[in-house]
Structure 1
Amino acid sequence: DFLYDYGCEILFETARFWEDLGAYIPLKGNKFCINCVTGPDEYTALVDNNAYTNYMAKMNLEYAYDIANKMKKEVPQKYQKVASKLNLKDEEIVAWKKAADNMYLPYSKELDIIPQDDSFLYKERITVDEIPEDQFPLLLHWHYLNIYRYQICKQPDVLLLMFLQREKFTKDELKKNYDYYEPITTHDSSLSPAIFSILANEIGYTDKAYKYFMMTARMDLDDYNDNVKDGIHAASMAGTWSAVVNGFGGMRVYTNELHFEPRLPKEWNLLSFNVRYKGRKINVKLTKENVVFALLEGEPIEIYYFDKKILLEKGENKVESLKN
């Protein structure tokens, strides 16, 4: 088992890192805070309690705590081996749980959104529409110390968090945060449009979803950021796949179960893709009217189409009406 033989070392050492990096701050109600960090957004730097960072660190700490205790019960010899190698003490594991339970998670009651960090909402807000087109990308025209003064994002930060930990947030919370951050995101990063496409599709902003998908797909073809001379944007190409499968295909993994909430863009008549999951190969095909699920390889598996549980077995197509 990769996790017990190798992965646990990475998991435990990263948990150690987070517990060492943060501190319990009295003026934050003795919450565990992680200060002076930079999250995904490259137009905001060296901030306290970046929401993405704190949520991700909390997940890491919780998972490390759970796996350490699980290994103690299920594979005690393997646990003792890795604990000895890392000089891992029981009190450290307890400290991980304490840090996770007391992690400071930013929230604005006034705006009912997740602030990107402690200071973000206290900066002057400037929307993309207020900036002349010839000023983009900002990093080539504005000094970074000027950029840092504004509520302006190069790429999704809070929204990337909401994509990666989607099960922790309601659709209403997603919509409120999307509506707040979209007008102030420049997409000067090639990594940006794919996430906006995926989340717009889920919210029901279908035109925006397709617009951002095309930005992702044509990033280099249209030289969107005037920098293709420096090389291709390989991660953006991967984002194109994600925008198709996670966006239009609506694929998510929640609590180790495969979920689909697909929406076919009006510009397309057909979408078909394969995914591999837990030793299975599954084909998903969308038309204007239906979605068809087929298990191509592997043992039977249960998946979800919206809230409906579906059992997939080889040789049998499962057809459902496509929801708008």
Structure 2
Amino acid sequence: MNQDYIKADPWSIIEEGFDKERVKSSESLFSIGNGAMGQRANFEETYTGETFQGSYIAGVYYPDKTRVGWWKNGYPEYFAKVLNAPNWIGIDISIDGEPLDLNTCREVKDFARQLNMKEGWYQRSFVATMPNGIEVSVVSTRFLSLHLDELGAIKYEVQVLNREAEITAFAYLDSGIKNMDSNWDDQFWNTTRVHSEGNRAFIESHTLKTNFATCTFMEATLYRDGNAYETEPVHKKDELAVGMSFVVEAKKGEKIALQKYGGYTVSRNHNSSELRNAANSTLDKASEIGFDGLFEQQKKDWASIWEMSDIEIEGDIKAQQGIRFNIFQLNQTYLGKDSRLNIGPKGFTGEKYGGSTYWDTEAYCLPFYMATKNQEVAWSLLEYRYNHLEKAIENAEKLGFKDGAALYPMVTMNGEECHNEWEITFEEIHRNGAIAFAIYNYHRYTNDYSYVPKMGLEVLIGIARFWQQRFNYSEDKQSYVMLGVTGPNEYENNINNNWYTNYLAKWCIEYTSEQLGKVEKEYPEDYARIISKTQLTVAETNAWDKLASNIYFPFSEKYDVYLQQDGFLDKEMIRVKDLAKSERPINQKWSWDRILRSPYIKQADVLQGFYFFEDHFSQGQLEKHFDFYEPFTVHESSLSPCVHSIQAAKLGRMEQAYTFYLRTSRLDLDDYNKEVEEGLHITSMAGTWMSIVEGFGGMRVKDNQLSFEPQIPEQWQSYAFKVNFRGQIITIKVEKGTSSFSVTGDTDLDVLVNGKTVTLTPGKVVQA
């Protein structure tokens, strides 16, 4: 059974009632971030129960040495870890000497959390009876500023309800933290200075090996019934922590509030010797604006984000909450301000998957950011891969490839492969194709070709060279085959001729050849530079073309479908619906050996190819392949339901499309995969957006025009969204039986609606 404690609300994530069993799940669900840093929704005060403490700084990582039972040549030396950073949120509360700890309180009532997605803040409140009989009310409000993205702010309000009492509030910083997923229990941080002055404190530290220097900082002020409490705090520090205590004799019902600013300055953005000065500067700005001013600015900044990215759904509050949660978390994770950063599968909500970048970015996230931001943000994501091209060539060389062949990593922080499961690291090579597809997709959507001659063609050449070397010629089949791979379905390892990988490779080679011709003709200076740099020859491109025209694709005449791989029909073909519920999810109930021999598909594989290359196949072919593969798909990847939702909608199967949509949009809120306490599925959230815009809205780019084929789930009254298409904002509202379109800007825009051209004029709403 899925969890169901999150209350349905269109703009907030709400939990009511305290349950120790769901603390870690809620720490994930109520996470906050601002693109530069983020944190799980840990309690500020002491909590001795089960918890997963987590604060993270974008781009700061540690190369945790690979731990495997048997070393294989070509293994990455390390697994990049998103680092649990020094903790700045700590506010320990003692009342008459008794620590406030919800794990030990006699009673906790009126407990509630709210993550306000519209305005970008998190609040927790409760009334607790402590072991000494004192009844205390707490309201804590926290946000990470978009305006000052090195800063977070907390207002922690305490009232003693049943008598006078002495309240001690200890605000602190702590660098004595560890990652939960360390391979060797290494120390990741070295603390070099702990310092406090006035109502400010600082911890200066750096990561070992990668040497990211960081200053964790805070400023704390106590308020008594709204007025600053003029008393000098008592400073405390040791080698790894520093803080200050405020003591106040509180009357019954008197409101005592500790206001705390905190955050990080990092050597990625400042000179290492200036980190404390930069921290003081940020605190000065925060103090000048004030908590209330920062809070109001936060609301304005989030209003600006929602103005473009919101999807409004009428008639289905759970669906509405789900899509906004997904859009909110994507924007908390990545805002496109820094091309050195990317979108991690867990964002700032947990440590699983370690590295910052998977193929998820190109396959799922790029469409969201292209349509809800602008092409500069999408360009930054593409530039990230170009900047890592030399590392991709090195990654390929480690596996025996040569002459500029490039294999982009499965997991990376700096372009170097740091994934250490052999069946993924060596074999899940389709990731290369997603990067090439993103280049094509960017040009198709934005009509900006400049990336290709400037950067993209070099990337494409490296990828094409890899594919050319990865195939070998089969005398038996009289075709080129690709052996020993893992497709998107990670429940099959070391298989031969994965259809998706073979098809993607063929397309990559042909697309690269096309771009070479186009750049040679239209950008001769760039072409000369690229040919000189890559030493590409006509003989080499001729070899590509020969290979691409004779690639083997497994096919079943019996079922009239492409086979996922050579041996797929050798399996015992029991459909998912015939599996006992007690056997699910199979990744938690079955041995890996049993999974590998089963027909069960973790996520879209052949159907991923039909999603990318929809216009290469007929509607009848899509239907036949969907009906063959979907019944064997267990959807135990967060990336699975969205692709199936889009394709079900394409086939007009709206009830099925809606079911898949609800699963992808509420994957974490309802904890379908029983793992939300480890963190959220950030990259798949972009797939949720795609489920509505590309699935229900039917948005595509066809013949260089934006095209829509709108449908609406039976459960909804209407839905509406906006897309930024080539600098013009199009608003689409879909109701039962009708759709309306409008455009901003100075010029008309022709779009296709159900195959017919509709001219949109700024200032007018067109029904179609």
Q: Which residue of 2 aligns with 1:295?
A: 743
The alignment status of 1:17 with 2:466, answered yes or no, reads yes
Q: Deviations over 1:211-261 (max 9, x none)?
A: 111111111111111000111011232121111111111112235332211
Give the stretch that moved more between structures: 3-12 or 120-129.
120-129
How far does residue 196 in structure 1 lie from its aligned partner after superposition? 1.2
One-letter amino acid matched to 2:466: F
How far does residue 280 in structure 1 lie from its aligned partner after superposition? 2.4
Q: Which residue of 1 aligns with 2:693?
A: 245
Mind listing any 5+ residue stretches in structure 2 that lack a counterpart? 1-449
Q: Supply the distance in 1 between the matched residues of 2:699 and 2:517 (Cα, whole angstroms).
A: 31
Q: Supply the distance in 2 between the matched residues of 1:226 and 1:195 (Cα, whole angstroms).
A: 21
Q: Which residue of 2 aligns with 1:81?
A: 529
Give the stretch that moved more between structures: 65-74 or 290-299.
290-299
Q: Supply the distance in 2 between the matched residues of 1:110 and 1:194 (Cα, whole angstroms).
A: 29
Q: Which residue of 1 aligns with 2:621?
A: 173
Q: Which residue of 1 aligns with 2:307?
A: none
Identical-pair percentage: 38
- Whether the aligned pair in 2 keeps the contact of 1:281 and 1:298 (CA below 8 Å) is no
- For the residue of structure 1 that corresponds to 2:674, the secondary structure is coil
- Between Structure 1 and Structure 2, whose CA radius of gyration is higher? 2
Q: Supply the distance in 2 between the matched residues of 1:286 and 1:206 (Cα, whole angstroms).
A: 14
- Whether the aligned pair in 2 keeps the contact of 1:279 and 1:298 (CA below 8 Å) is no
Q: Which residue of 2 aligns with 1:203?
A: 651
One-letter amino acid matched to 2:451: F
Alignment of 1:58-97 (within 5 A): 58-97=506-545
The alignment status of 1:55 with 2:500, answered yes or no, reads no
How far does residue 299 in structure 1 lie from its aligned partner after superposition? 4.1
Give the stretch that moved more between structures: 290-299 or 256-265.
290-299
How far does residue 19 in structure 1 lie from its aligned partner after superposition? 0.9
Mind listing any 5+ residue stretches in structure 1 that lack a counterpart? none
Q: Which residue of 2 aligns with 1:134?
A: 582
Give the stretch that moved more between structures: 264-273 or 279-288.
279-288
Q: Which has the higher contact order (CA 8 A, sep 6+)?
A: 2
- For the residue of structure 2 that corresponds to 1:187, the secondary structure is coil
Q: Structure 2 residue aligned with 1:4, among 435, 453, 465?
A: 453
Q: Which residue of 2 aligns with 1:102?
A: 550
Q: Which residue of 2 aligns with 1:234?
A: 682
Q: Supply the distance in 2 between the matched residues of 1:171 and 1:160 (Cα, whole angstroms).
A: 15
Q: Supply the distance in 2 between the matched residues of 1:315 and 1:97 (Cα, whole angstroms).
A: 50
- Whether the aligned pair in 1 keeps the contact of 2:488 and 2:605 (CA below 8 Å) is yes
One-letter amino acid matched to 1:283: T
Q: Which residue of 1 aligns with 2:723?
A: 275
Q: Which residue of 2 aligns with 1:192?
A: 640
- Whether the aligned pair in 2 keeps the contact of 1:282 and 1:297 (CA below 8 Å) is no
- Name the one with the larger strand percent: 2
The alignment status of 1:147 with 2:595, answered yes or no, reads yes
Q: Deviations over 1:110-151 (max 9, x none)?
A: 101121111112211121122222222212221222111121
How far does residue 15 in structure 1 lie from its aligned partner after superposition? 0.8
Q: Supply the distance in 2 between the matched residues of 1:183 and 1:277 (Cα, whole angstroms).
A: 36
Q: Deviations over 1:145-173 (max 9, x none)?
A: 21111211111111111111100111111
Q: Supply the distance in 1 between the matched residues of 2:665 and 2:756 (Cα, whole angstroms).
A: 32
The alignment status of 1:38 with 2:486, answered yes or no, reads yes
Q: Supply the distance in 1 between the matched residues of 2:559 and 2:703 (Cα, whole angstroms).
A: 30
Q: Supply the distance in 2 between the matched residues of 1:278 and 1:93 (Cα, whole angstroms).
A: 33
Q: Supply the distance in 2 between the matched residues of 1:144 and 1:92 (Cα, whole angstroms).
A: 41
Q: Structure 1 residue aligned with 2:761, among 305, 313, 317?
A: 313
Q: Deviations over 1:25-71 (max 9, x none)?
A: 2222x222222111111111111111111111111111110111122
- Whether the aligned pair in 1 keeps the contact of 2:751 and 2:759 (CA below 8 Å) is yes
TM-score (norm 2): 0.41
One-letter amino acid matched to 1:176: K
- Over 3 Å counting, the alpha-carbon distance change for 1:258 and 1:124 in structure 2 is same
Q: Deviations over 1:275-304 (max 9, x none)?
A: 122232211111112111222236433322
Q: Which residue of 1 aligns with 2:566?
A: 118
One-letter amino acid matched to 1:148: L
- Name the one with the larger helix percent: 1
- For the residue of structure 1 that corresponds to 2:561, the secondary structure is coil
One-letter amino acid matched to 2:533: K
Alignment of 1:211-230 (within 5 A): 211-230=659-678
- For the residue of structure 1 that corresponds to 2:541, the secondary structure is helix
- Over 3 Å counting, the alpha-carbon distance change for 1:68 and 1:125 in structure 2 is same
Q: Which residue of 2 aligns with 1:161?
A: 609
Q: Which residue of 2 aligns with 1:264?
A: 712
How far does residue 9 in structure 1 lie from its aligned partner after superposition? 0.7
- For the residue of structure 2 that corresponds to 1:151, the secondary structure is coil
- Whether the aligned pair in 1 keeps the contact of 2:654 and 2:712 (CA below 8 Å) is no
- For the residue of structure 2 that corresponds to 1:186, the secondary structure is coil
Q: Deviations over 1:62-112 (max 9, x none)?
A: 111011112222222211111111121121222222222222233222101
- Over 3 Å counting, the alpha-carbon distance change for 1:299 and 1:13 in structure 2 is farther
Q: Supply the distance in 2 between the matched residues of 1:279 and 1:96 (Cα, whole angstroms).
A: 37
- Whether the aligned pair in 2 keeps the contact of 1:34 and 1:48 (CA below 8 Å) is yes
- For the residue of structure 2 that corresponds to 1:40, the secondary structure is coil
One-letter amino acid matched to 1:163: Y
One-letter amino acid matched to 1:106: P
- For the residue of structure 2 that corresponds to 1:148, the secondary structure is helix
Q: Supply the distance in 2 between the matched residues of 1:298 and 1:54 (Cα, whole angstroms).
A: 45
Q: Supply the distance in 2 between the matched residues of 1:235 and 1:2 (Cα, whole angstroms).
A: 24
When the two chains are superposed, the root-mean-square deviation of aligned CA atoms in Å is: 1.5
- Over 3 Å counting, the alpha-carbon distance change for 1:112 and 1:32 in structure 2 is same
Give the stretch that moved more between structures: 131-140 or 284-293.
131-140
- Over 3 Å counting, the alpha-carbon distance change for 1:111 and 1:179 in structure 2 is same
Q: Supply the distance in 2 between the matched residues of 1:185 and 1:233 (Cα, whole angstroms).
A: 19
One-letter amino acid matched to 1:197: S
TM-score (norm 1): 0.94
- For the residue of structure 2 that corresponds to 1:54, the secondary structure is helix
Give the stretch that moved more between structures: 208-217 or 131-140.
131-140
Number of matched pairs: 319
Q: Supply the distance in 1 between the matched residues of 2:547 and 2:704 (Cα, whole angstroms).
A: 25
- For the residue of structure 2 that corresponds to 1:27, the secondary structure is coil
- Whether the aligned pair in 2 keeps the contact of 1:167 and 1:254 (CA below 8 Å) is no
Q: Supply the distance in 2 between the matched residues of 1:265 and 1:63 (Cα, whole angstroms).
A: 37
- Whether the aligned pair in 2 keeps the contact of 1:281 and 1:296 (CA below 8 Å) is yes
